[in-house]
Each structure stands twice: as C-alpha cells, then as structure tokens.
C-alpha cells in the first residue's frame, strides 16, 4: 500500500475529528521518530507531552513485557501489586494523600470535579456547588471537562453542559474574586496553560488564589496533565511555583505512552468527598497501566530526570530567546522548564509544516504559538539541532 493509500484508508474509516499531518510514523528511538519512508525526525512534541522518557526506554519496556505476561486486568473489585506500588510512589512524589487512577486526562478532570461537588454536598447538605474556571483553558473533551474548558467554540455545539461554571481571566486575581459567591466549591486551572498558548501561572496569582480558597473553604484544583511529570524541573509544576492544590489531575507523561491518568487529593478532601458508590472505573488503575506508572516514577529517580530538566532548561530557554530576537515576526517567548512557546504575529502553520519537512517535529498551541514539549531526556546537541532545523523552517513564514 502506498503512503497516500494508507492515509486514504485511515481518513475513510475514522470519524473526522482531526486534521492530521501527512506523515505515517512507524517507530521511535530516544528523541527520534521514523516514518514508513525511513525519514528521521527530531521530536520536540513527544506525542503532546506524553513521551517524557522518549521512545523505547528499555527499563520501561521490560516492565511492560513482563506485566503483559503476568496479568493485564482484573478489575477494581480486587487488589493488585502494581496498583499499590504505583499509588504509593505517586503520592510520595506529589505530597498528596489519595489517588484515583483513570484512563485519560479528561476522566481525571471529571473525577476532580465530582470530588469537589461531593465535598460541597457533604459540607452544606445540598447539591449545587459552583466552579470557577479560566478563559482560554483546556481540560479535555468529555462533557464535564468541556464544561470548564474556556473556549466557547469547543463548548457551544454540546450545550447544555454542567451548570454553575463561571470563567475568570487567567493571571487576573480580581477577575476570580469577582466571581466568588457562597456556592463556589472549586477553582480549576492549569498550572501552565498548554493548549491555550503556553501561559505559566504567575506566582502571585497562584498564591492569591490559594489564600482565597483557604479563606472561603473553596477547593483549588490544579490541572497538571500537560505541565506535570517533571516538565518544569520538579515532578509537578505547582511544586516549582510553591502553591499546593487540594486536588490535582495528571495524565499525559504519567505512563510515558501507556494510557493512564489520575486525580489526587488531600486527606481532608478524601474524608469529605468520594465514598463507595460515588465513583468508579472498569479499566482504571489496572495492573498493566499501573506497572507503567510505578516504573516511570522509578526511572525518573534512577535516571535523575528532574535534575536533567533543570540543567537543560537554560539551554533551551536561551536558544528560543535567540531565535525570537532574530525574527521580528516572533512576538514572544514564554514557558517554564521544558514546556515553552514562541508566539507569532499570525498563524505559524506554514513554519510547523516546514519544520516537519526539515525533520523536526513541533506542534502549535492556541492560534499563533509554536509549542515545544520535547522528551525530558533531550541533550544540548538536540537543542542545537532543533535550532538549526527551526531556523531553516522559519524562512517559510508568511504573515
């Protein structure tokens, strides 16, 4: 089958929810991807921040092969060793007290919202807790996660969504305060806005939200699905910014390629929220995916991933600063650690495609940002190669 035939076969069969780039990938190794024509790519997107350890990590692969042979699923009506180990490790590295494993990021957000609603119900004896979310946020595509996603075009066709959600301006504490009422049960935000265009939360903003939540017994939910799992040089971005949530969501790099998410909470939230019968999942936390979670936590430690991110961050930052200064149509460079964005005067889609042609995978965010989410194992040489390839691709920019 030719490449074109394979693409047509896919397009005819799948629900058309994605406009895909015309590349068929076959395998990956380290920070590199290879397509069916044998072309090599340096990957600075890591499958939207999923492949934190890059492709083909041997320790992870060994654990997965072994677990496939032993047991992949048994349901949450029973205990398994990988689930217990994964939970203990994730709690240790997050400083949270309880975890619930899900199959995706959106489901982690669903669980977080349900926990917050139930907390309000336990506290007041009434349903109807309201939620403050942020404009330009992204929390996923299921009905609940969509309800708190701050992009009208994503929500509109699917209304009515869950009620009692109000949108504030990100990094604008007064706009959040203006929306608080006695029914507010939670404030949800990404610690670093990803899809919206790579906007890190300002420290004072987060601190102000934390104080507001403490004062009014409102739960702070931090969505760490994209920015968490080591990307900022700490296991979670809120650890970098110094503000602890009451509930947090994680997914993407949690299983480094194995589909798994989680929501975590403090003991206080656990005691007053979800109880037996309130929530569940058939697959969630099965021994296959949790063996990945536990292995990933171990590998981060053994391979010193967080220290490496701290070391390589200034290299990537300076390189992107330099690129920004060289081209006057690049209007900003933002980010934290290895989640970064270059903002353009208008859509950079021609540059993204030209980069792919040069053998560099980058993706966009928002309507005018090129997003950088490299595997956490990138080296100085990889950053240099990215710079060369991107610089050539930038010649194709047309405003």
Ligand X SMILES: *Cc1c(COP(=O)(O)O)cnc(C)c1O
Q: Which of residues 85-114 bind ligand X (CB under 6 A)?
A: 104-106, 109
Q: CA–CA separation, 42 vs 209, rounded Å?
A: 39
Binding pattern for the stretch 245-284 against ligand X, x by CB under 6 A and - elsewhere: ------xx--------------------------------
Residue 139 found at the interface with ligand X (CB under 6 A): yes
Q: Is 138 in the site for ligand X (CB under 6 A)?
A: yes
Strand ranges across the sheet with 184-190: 98-102, 261-265, 247-250, 219-223, 184-190, 130-134, 165-168
194 makes contact with ligand X (CB under 6 A):
yes
Nearest-5° Cα angle at 25, 354 to 32: 75
Site membership for ligand X, residue 223 (CB under 6 A) = yes
Among the residue ranges 13-21, 30-38, 136-144, 318-326, the one whose residues contact ligand X (CB under 6 A): 136-144
* Contact letters for ligand X, residues 163-192 (x by CB under 6 A): ---------------------------x--
Q: Are strands 165-168 and 130-134 parallel, antiparallel or unpaired?
A: parallel
Number of residues that bind ligand X (CB under 6 A): 15
By C-beta, is 146 or 295 nearer to ligand X?
146
Nearer CB in complex with ligand X: 232/319: 232
Please state the closest distance from residue 202 (CB atom) to ligand X, in A: 18
Residue whose CB is nearest to ligand X in the complex, by number:
105
From 72, 117, 40, 124, select the one nearest 289 (Cα to Cα): 72
Q: How far is the CB of 141 from ligand X (least distance, A)?
A: 6
**How many other C-beta atoms lie within 10 A of the C-beta of residue 30?**
17
Residue 299 has φ and ψ, to the nearest 5°, of -65, -40
- Give CA separation, 11 vs 7, 16, 18, 101, 363, in Å: 6, 7, 10, 32, 21
Cβ atoms of 22 and 7 within 8 Å: the answer is yes
Q: Which residues bind ligand X (CB under 6 A)?
A: 104-106, 109, 138-140, 190, 194-195, 223, 225-226, 251-252
């Amino acid at each position: 089958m030719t490449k074109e035939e394979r693409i047509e076969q896919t397009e005819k069969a799948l629900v058309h929810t994605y406009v895909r780039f015309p590349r068929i990938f076959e395998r990956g190794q380290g920070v590199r991807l290879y397509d069916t024509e044998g072309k090599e790519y340096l990957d600075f997107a890591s499958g939207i921040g999923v492949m934190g350890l890059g492709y083909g990590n041997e320790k992870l692969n060994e654990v997965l092969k072994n677990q496939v042979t032993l047991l992949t699923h048994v349901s949450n009506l029973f205990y398994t060793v990988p689930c217990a180990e994964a939970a203990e490790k994730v709690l240790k590295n997050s400083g949270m007290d309880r975890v619930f494993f899900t199959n995706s990021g959106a489901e982690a957000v669903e669980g977080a919202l349900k926990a917050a609603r139930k907390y309000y119900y336990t506290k007041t004896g009434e349903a109807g807790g309201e939620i403050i979310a942020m404009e330009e946020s992204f929390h996923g595509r299921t009905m609940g996660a969509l309800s708190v996603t701050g992009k009208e075009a994503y929500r509109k066709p699917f209304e009515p969504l869950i009620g009692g959600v109000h949108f504030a301006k990100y990094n604008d504490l007064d706009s959040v305060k203006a929306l608080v009422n006695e029914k507010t049960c939670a404030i949800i935000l990404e610690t670093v806005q990803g899809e919206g265009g790579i906007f890190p939360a300002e420290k004072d903003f987060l601190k102000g939200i934390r104080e507001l939540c403490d004062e009014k017994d409102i739960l702070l939910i931090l969505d760490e699905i994209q920015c968490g799992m080591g990307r900022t040089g700490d296991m979670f971005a809120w650890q970098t910014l110094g503000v602890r949530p009451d509930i947090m969501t994680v997914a993407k790099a949690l299983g480094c390629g194995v589909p798994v998410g989680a929501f975590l909470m403090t003991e206080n939230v656990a005691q007053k929220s979800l109880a037996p019968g309130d929530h569940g999942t058939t697959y969630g936390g099965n021994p296959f995916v949790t063996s990945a979670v536990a292995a990933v936590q171990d590998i981060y430690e053994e391979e010193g991933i967080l220290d490496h991110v701290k070391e390589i961050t200034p290299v990537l930052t300076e390189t992107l600063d330099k690129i920004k200064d060289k081209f006057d149509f690049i209007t900003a460079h933002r980010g934290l650690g290895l989640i970064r964005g270059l903002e353009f005067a208008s859509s950079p889609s021609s540059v993204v495609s030209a980069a792919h042609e040069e053998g560099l995978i980058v993706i966009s965010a928002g309507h005018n940002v090129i997003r950088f989410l490299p595997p956490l194992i990138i080296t100085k040489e990889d950053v240099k190669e990215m710079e060369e390839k991107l610089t050539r691709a930038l010649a194709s920019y047309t405003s």
